[in-house]
Structure 1
């Protein structure tokens, strides 16, 4: 005769253990699924370390040969001015002149002009001496004394400033952004009566560099946002 009582006890113990395992499994699954996703921001203002300055002037005339000689003299005068002020020849480049035949413009209203040719000449300064170049931009009026009028207003020839030393500040900014993200995660964990666990996933956003404002393009704002997912524990 079978011992039904013993089998019943074994079955009850097995069911009890199964229930414990299921409970622990659900608890671990729920715990595993708990997380918080936060973003950390780091910003820094830095001075531009590279400047590109196009010096533009125009020449009008009817004789291309005479215009060529005039442009050659003007270019030499500008080169001498820039070198006198402390720029190296390697920082200065002379662009090919842009010539417009006013009489050949089919839809222009220039038929009454006494000149046939309008020549635009550009000498470009590209330098890491940002402060010096900014000073020269404010002093370019001196070229008027030497017979050269630098023109402006053409969007193609605006002064531009760059920041090229991003790799020097990247590690520190990433560290700051990560720290800020962790502080936000810790605050969330505290408010939810949880403990902050390990990082489950992290991604670093792209660095962006922009002008601080329209009036100070030589000051740049560097920005990065990191996104980090932390696990939460009871």
Structure 2
């Protein structure tokens, strides 16, 4: 009888051991399978580029006007200074009358120069004494610069020797539009990823990695240069890797 009970206990023990073993294998199989699934999902990714572009207007302009007077003799120099100061004030008055404040105008110094002209025997045949001055404007009135430049050129008819330099226009508010442009580029990258995913029969998930490209500012419609035109094109491209799920 004891032998029968002992055998029975051993039988139940083997059954229980088998059950626990089966459960252990099943549980282990689940975790292994889940790990393999997660690994598969992690490896299923798609990289897409997102482009954002925006047309902006320059908010800062720099412009310079140069002028000069010349004489034949050294004795002309005092008179040249008087003429230079008169021309300088004429230009400043025109700028003030057309909307530029004194704080936006910088007056350069008058520079003196001298040239000699000699013949083949090194005999002095002529000489030139001249004064050169400049007036610079730095302003946020970018549209006004183009208008007043044309008026400055009319001073040539008054006998003023003027070099009306081309202005430069800059956009300095990039940090203010960066967040919105990056958001737009990310959205466009997801659109591109969704197009790929729909063709592959999968779904786009969250972002795995994101790399922001550099922001580029160019004169509107140009491939190079960013200072000649008032209107600018701002461009950024992002590279984003998305998870893909079944």
Q: What is the TM-score normalised by the length of structure 2?
A: 0.77
1:69 aligns with 2:86: no
Structure 2 unmatched runs, 5+? 1-6, 118-123
1:200 aligns with 2:208: yes
Q: What is the TM-score normalised by the length of structure 1?
A: 0.80
Cα deviation, 1:125-148, whole Å, max 9, x if unaligned, reads 111111111111122222123321
Residue aligning to 2:108: 95
Q: 2:54 aligns with which of 35, 44, 48?
A: 44
CA distance in structure 1 between the partners assigned to 2:137 and 2:148 by the alignment: 11
Change (3 A) 1:41 1:98: farther
Task: Map 1:1-234 to 2 at 5 A.
Answer: 6=15, 14-15=24-25, 17-61=27-71, 62=74, 63-103=76-116, 113-115=126-128, 117-151=129-163, 158-213=166-221, 217-234=229-246
- Which of structures 1 and 2 has the bigger CA Rg? 2
Change (3 A) 1:192 1:100: farther
Change (3 A) 1:100 1:10: same
3-state SS of paired residue (1:58): strand
Q: CA deviation at 1:203?
A: 3.2
Deviates more, 1:190-199 or 1:95-104: 95-104
CA distance in structure 1 between the partners assigned to 2:44 and 2:130 by the alignment: 71
Change (3 A) 1:9 1:165: closer
Q: Is the 8 A contact 2:45 2:241 kept in 1?
A: yes
CA distance in structure 2 between the partners assigned to 1:58 and 1:112 by the alignment: 23
Q: Is the 8 A contact 1:77 1:146 kept in 2?
A: no
CA distance in structure 2 between the partners assigned to 1:20 and 1:81 by the alignment: 85
Q: Is the 8 A contact 1:57 1:150 kept in 2?
A: yes
Residue aligning to 1:108: none
Q: Is the 8 A contact 2:104 2:137 kept in 1?
A: yes
Change (3 A) 1:172 1:15: closer
Q: Is the 8 A contact 1:55 1:124 kept in 2?
A: yes
CA distance in structure 1 between the partners assigned to 2:181 and 2:170 by the alignment: 19
Q: CA deviation at 1:66?
A: 3.5
CA distance in structure 1 between the partners assigned to 2:166 and 2:112 by the alignment: 20
Q: Is the 8 A contact 2:213 2:236 kept in 1?
A: yes
Q: CA deviation at 1:42?
A: 0.8
Cα deviation, 1:167-202, whole Å, max 9, x if unaligned, reads 443333222212111111111221221111111222
Q: CA deviation at 1:98?
A: 4.0
